[in-house]
Amino acid sequence: MKRKYFGTDGVRGQANTFPMTPDVALRLGAAAGRYFRQDKKEHRVIIGKDTRRSSYMFENALTAGFTSTGMDVYLLGPVPTPAVGVLTRSMRADVGVMISASHNSYLDNGIKFFGPDGFKLSDEVEMEIESFLDGEISYAQSQNIGKAKRIDDALGRYMEFAKSAFPRKKLLDGLKVVVDCANGAAYKAAPIVLWELGAEVIALGVNPNGYNINEGCGSTNPIMAASAVLKHGADVGICLDGDADRVILIDEKGQVADGDQLMGLIATQWASRGTLVKNTLVATVMSNMGLERHLNEHNIELIRTNVGDRYVVEAMRKFGYNLGGEQSGHIVMTDFVTTGDGLMAGLQFLNAMVDSGRPASDLIKVFEPMPQLLKNIHISPNTDPLENTNVQEAIREGEAMFGEHGRLLIRKSGTEPLIRVMGECEDPNLLSDVVMNVVDSVSKIT
């Protein structure tokens, strides 16, 4: 069955454009309320949001939808996405909702759901909720309409939880840390947590105005943070995205490291301590082949999934693994959290710095990445160039040219109107030729 509303990470799109409209959000809340409503006295949902202007609109619409089906709504205010996963479970909610389009600009927004166990919903559950959206929704009787209430200490609960993952009796004294919060959901939490753990903190991206989330800052734009690290002589930079489930690191020399490098570091350290379950890391098809080679050298297995942290988590839960993530900076550590958590992953790196006494530059370059090239091509809505025979032929030619010396990955984005063309090859010139040939063939029909 083809999805009409849900993508790879909840429902996402441009605000006030289908499917991200207030009326869809209201019905989505009602549909989810119908699905999660059970035969018990109290039904509850928690709702968090990031700092986009439209998040307030969707918060109100979802609240109306959930309360119409008899569910009580607890509003958390602006909190990181992982906080919703944590609090859904700790507050014994039936469902948790995060309103965010993650690393996208303020023009977009999204709605992500978490089950009562704190994990994102499976494809099957999302499809069942979606089946209610265009049908009749059973509303509660007048006397059973739910109520809405703001939770004032939600952010404090999450901050204490985040600090609990850092080893007790260990502090960040003497470390100067630049943290870029992308004018997003962690603009309060991240600087406070780092300061309370003992660091000297230079905070960037902490003045949200509803429009500047991810704008020239954060994990997708680390240049400002890299400059700040050099300017202030900081020991390390931590760049989060708009909902703080991603992290990108910067060493004291201003060099940027992606999620693959951080996963490689954590995996090898956990393996050496005997805490990496089954000596296995779960990553996506986008992760660099250099990471795979590094892991093999340390007798660590790499399992790849489709793109999307939810698919990483599904594989981790299915087989019992405790570490996974994405090159983009989602780092999932199920010993601590149920989804990617940029702040807690950053704390793992800071812990490695404290333990080793080594500078970030010694730790941040775990392996030599294979040359990788990623190109994004904007496409018209409801089109799929990958079905075109000329594009398919260009892909086959590229794969043949790479042979065993590289790989080609082409996919349609599940969150944006893009075709992503990614190639890896030991020969940079061949890499460029193959990728650009595929890009040209896609561009001709978009």
6-152 has which CATH code? 3.40.120.10
Domain spanning 259-344+351-364, CATH class? alpha beta
pLDDT of residue 268: 97
Statement: residue 151 has pLDDT above 90: yes
pLDDT of residue 98: 98
Q: What average pLDDT does the structure give for the chain?
A: 94
pLDDT of residue 69: 94
Each residue's pLDDT tens digit, 229-249:
999 999 999 999 999 999 999
Statement: residue 391 has pLDDT above 60: yes
Label each residue of 334-390 as H, E or C: CCCCCCCCHHHHHHHHHHHHHHHCCCHHHHHCCCCCCCEEEEEEECCCCCCHHHCHH
The predicted model scores a pTM of 0.90
Distance CA 86, CA 109 (A): 22
Pair 18, 24: CB distance under 8 Å: yes
pLDDT of residue 136: 84
Domain spanning 372-443, CATH class? alpha beta
Give 8's pLDDT tier (boundaries 50, 70, 90).
Answer: confident
Each residue's pLDDT tens digit, 356-380:
999 999 999 999 999 999 999 998 8
Q: Would you tell me how many other CB atoms lie within 10 Å of the CB of residue 317? A: 16
Find residue 11's DSSP bridge partners.
6, 111
Of 68, 100, 102, 287, which residue is the catalytic one?
102
Pair 59, 94: CB distance under 8 Å: no
The answer to whether 102 is a known catalytic residue is yes
Closest CA to 225 of 360, 56, 424: 360
Residue 406's identity, in one-letter code, is: G
For the chain, what are the domain ranges?
6-152, 157-255, 259-344+351-364, 372-443
CA angle 217, 219, 223 (to 5 degrees): 50
Three-state secondary-structure class, residue 178: strand
Are 6-152 and 259-344+351-364 the same fold in CATH?
yes
CATH fold for the domain made of 157-255: Alpha-D-Glucose-1,6-Bisphosphate; Chain A, domain 3 (3.40.120)
Each residue's pLDDT tens digit, 78-94:
999 999 999 999 999 99
Closest CA to 422 of 347, 362, 370: 370
